């Protein structure tokens, strides 16, 4: 089943040795599949576009852009 592309906003933080997206508005944390891509944005507010695996709460990153 193909998941739909979605946009997520939040801050890239390191948690348990992995980079994750922390959505500050919903207080949700998402794992990020591409750690190398995520590392470049550590500590920054970003917009992530990708597909969400709802079972593992992991975003398959299509793109990350700096947010506001």
The residues pairing with 49 across neighbouring beta strands, listed in sequence order, are 7, 63
pLDDT over 60 (residue 2): no
Bridge partners (DSSP) listed for residue 5: none
**68 has a pLDDT exceeding 90:** no
Q: For the beta carbon of residue 53, count every other beta carbon within 10 angstroms.
A: 14
DSSP 57: T
Question: Could you give the residue ranges of the DSSP H alpha helices within 1-68?
Answer: 35-39
d(CA 68, CA 65): 10
Confidence of residue 3 (pLDDT cuts 50, 70, 90): low
Question: What pLDDT does 25 receive?
Answer: 86
Kindly report, residue by residue over 37-59, the tens digit of the pLDDT: 999 999 999 999 999 999 999 99
Residue 5 pLDDT > 80, yes or no? yes
pTM for this entry = 0.89
């Amino acid at each position: 089943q193909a998941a739909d592309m979605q946009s997520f906003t939040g801050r890239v933080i390191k948690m348990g040795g992995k980079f994750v997206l922390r959505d500050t508005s919903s207080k949700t944390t998402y794992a990020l599949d591409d750690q190398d891509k995520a590392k470049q944005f550590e500590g920054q507010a970003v917009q992530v576009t990708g597909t969400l695996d709802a079972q593992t709460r992991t975003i398959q990153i299509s793109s990350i852009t700096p947010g506001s």
